[in-house]
Amino acid sequence: MHPTPTYTKYPSSATYSEIIDVRSENEFTKDHIPGAINLPVLNNEERAKVGTIYKQVSPFAARKVGAAIISQNISQHLHSHFATKEKQYSPLIYCWRGGQRSSSLALVLTQIGWRVTLLEEGYKTYRAYVRQQLAQLPSQFTYKVLCGLTGTGKTHILRQLSSRGVQVLDLEELGNHRGSLLGQEWESKPSPQPSQKRFESLLLQALQKLDPNKIVWVESESNKIGQVYLPSILWEKMKQATCVELQLPNQERIKWLLQQYPHLTEYPEILKSKLGGLKYRYGSKKIEEWYNWIDRKEWEALVGDLLKYHYDPAYYRSLGQTYQQVKLKLPLADLSPKSIETILNTLGE
């Protein structure tokens, strides 16, 4: 007698050989359970085809076409991915809502003799778990916020702290964004930000690795990192946290920014386009002044003026409205390795 698939609400305690997401590539990219691999039983084009038949012909016709495609894809996976699996292999499989796509693959694998588990209600169950966890887990930690004007090396210093074993929640890394208008690098094929759902999965995964008994350092972000938003409870906890403010001479800030953001000088036309979006705020005269500095490659003058008129006022507004508990100010002469070492020793105490 062949075994039948078992069901679980969420794979939090059991151990599986691997977690298989059988949804299409696009569904998987938008979000998936951490550690899952993608073995679509209907790829992007096939899923769209079946959906069209479902709407324009009939559900019955769509199921026939879908079953044929799914069977072909499962056969291909058996010849490739599953060919080397041992008898003890035991996967967890899920699709969007625990329906035909995951059940189809599970049926075949159980007939072979493997012990298969299905995620009840599929990805929807996992997504509900993420929302529930993010509504409460961030409140379990005590945060300290590293503040400072743009160009004071906050992100770099936090990552150096993390390399020393200090707990850091790197929101810019999770959101794949440097948190400002000019922060995103301009490459021919820039790495996109994660979807909101994917960001929340990554954030939950990061939070679950932290020790609630130790301080968690974060950077003084807003509640929005690029196009993704922080959970409200995390944002509230960050606003209530004490802050340590880094202070650095303007010339050193300019030097650091030009070093860390080479795309500012490598793509002048894109830079102009980005700055042009600020015309409504600063007027044509100021935008033209910035354009002239770009044309003359007077980068230090440009960055200094952007700090003075755009970034610094925004920072002071944020500090006054959001991060009001500045308990310590740490002046740096520069961002040389020696200066950073001194700051790291102070923050890590």
Query: What one-character-per-residue DSSP string does 156-199 give?
Result: HHHHHHHHTT--B--HHHHHTS-SSTTTS---SSPPPPPPHHHH
Domain 6-132 = CATH 3.40.250.10: yes
**H/E element, 19:** strand 19-21
* Spatial distance between the Cα atoms of 2 and 71, rounded to a whole number of angstroms: 20
315: pLDDT strictly greater than 60 = yes
- Averaged over 48-62, what is the pLDDT? 94
- 141-347 CATH fold: Rossmann fold (3.40.50)
**H/E element, 275:** helix 268-276
With a CB cutoff of 8 Å and minimum separation 6, the contacts of 26 are 44
pLDDT confidence bin for 325, thresholds 50/70/90 = confident
Q: Compute CA distances 165 → 10, 118, 156, 214, 338, whole Å.
A: 30, 37, 15, 11, 19
pLDDT confidence bin for 190, thresholds 50/70/90 = low
* Whole-structure pTM value: 0.90
Q: Which of 1-5, 61-65, 276-280 has the lowest mean pLDDT?
A: 1-5
- Domain range summary for the chain, segments of one domain joined by +: 6-132, 141-347
pLDDT confidence bin for 115, thresholds 50/70/90 = very high
Assign 286 to helix, strand or coil: helix
Q: Are 161 and 330 in contact (CB under 8 A)?
A: no
What confidence score (pLDDT) does residue 37 get?
97
pLDDT confidence bin for 98, thresholds 50/70/90 = confident
* 141-347 shares the fold of 6-132: no
- Averaged over 185-209, what is the pLDDT? 85
Residue 114 tokens read as 């493997």
What confidence score (pLDDT) does residue 209 get?
96
What confidence score (pLDDT) does residue 226 get?
85
For residue 21, list its beta bridge partners.
38, 94
